[in-house]
Amino acid sequence: MPPPPDVVPGDAAQLLHQLEWTVIRRLDGLLHGDYRTLFRGPGLDLADLREYQYQDDVRHIDWNVTARLQTPYVREYNEDRDLTAWFLLDLSASQTFGSQVQKLSVATAFVTVLSRLLTRHGNRVGALLYGNRVDTVLPPKSSRQHVLHLMHLLMNRPPPQAGATDLATLINEANRSMPRRGLVFVISDFITQPGWEAALGRLTQRHEVIAVRLYDPLEMELPDIGLMWMQDPETGEQLFVDTHDKGFRRRYAKLAAEREDALREGLAAAGVDTLELATDDDLAEAISRFADLRRSRSRLSGGAVSKPKSDVTAHLEART
């Protein structure tokens, strides 16, 4: 399936209908009904206790039981799937870049697909939209009409003004705007002023956070197409370059690789899962790959289960 078409002002209902047929129907088959792979609710009920294993989440260690039995034990939970999801959308000028499809178009398609998958299971979605500042806060609701309203806001925004992006501003505003624990998607190309890592780390202390990193292949490596003008969409700065120069292309790729390494280190330090989404990606396959990754991590970290109480649990209950 080709990437989504560029977003132009128009009919949100038509785009939603198109994505329901081309992406959401495919995801129903690719995910095989494993709804929990992507979406976890905030409600937790203690289901059992078991001995700590390598790669378990240390936040699930029951220190009281560990102290009494002199062996580390972790809690296992049954989770309530009902949740509130928020989309933190970086819609700054750099999102209008794309060699074939704009990053903004990919972001709109992703938000549409995830919003519809969430709301049709009864969950609520909200959004914070950032241009040069947080200019729109859409409170969470669960209806199809609400999804269409969000799409309309994305498809009919005025062109972004030039200016440097400060992603920390968006994340800090989100921390203030979301009182209850929820699922948060930070959707950005992460071309931003420094300092976002600490803000993102604070956000993960309260919410489950997924970073959706948008990029275009031309941001990684330049083709040999001769002389050309390059312009920074956020500052307006222009540069005339010779892409036929192998040394220039090599330096460009080196700087891009260094930025990639720094970005991934920052996301890892913040403790978030990351979906990397290129402008030429198949959206359904990218989401499915990400679901597979989260499914594997869930198995390793001892996710929520529903099973009879263990001998340890029964023993502790008998002693209390």
Which residues does residue 299 pair with via DSSP β-bridges, in sequence order?
none
Length of the chain: 320
Strand duo 273-278 + 208-215: pairing: parallel
pLDDT in tens, 56-96: 777 778 888 888 888 888 887 655 557 899 999 999 999 99
Q: CA–CA separation, 185 vs 165, rounded Å?
A: 18
Check whether 306 has a pLDDT greater than 60: no
Average pLDDT of the chain to the nearest whole number: 82
Residues 6+ apart with CB under 8 A from 122: 82, 142
For the chain, percent of residues with pLDDT exceeding 70:
80
In this prediction, residue 310 carries a pLDDT of 43
Integer angstrom CA distances of residue 209 from 63, 93, 159, 274, 319: 26, 24, 28, 9, 38
Closest CA to 89 of 103, 68, 78: 103
- DSSP category for residue 20: I
Average pLDDT over residues 91-102: 91
Q: What is the pTM of this model?
A: 0.77
pLDDT in tens, 26-52: 887 656 444 554 555 555 555 578 888
How many CB atoms are closer than 10 A to CB 181? Answer: 15
Residues 6+ apart with CB under 8 A from 304: 36, 40, 44, 47, 76, 77, 78, 79
3-state helix, strand, coil in the chain (%, to 5): 45, 20, 35
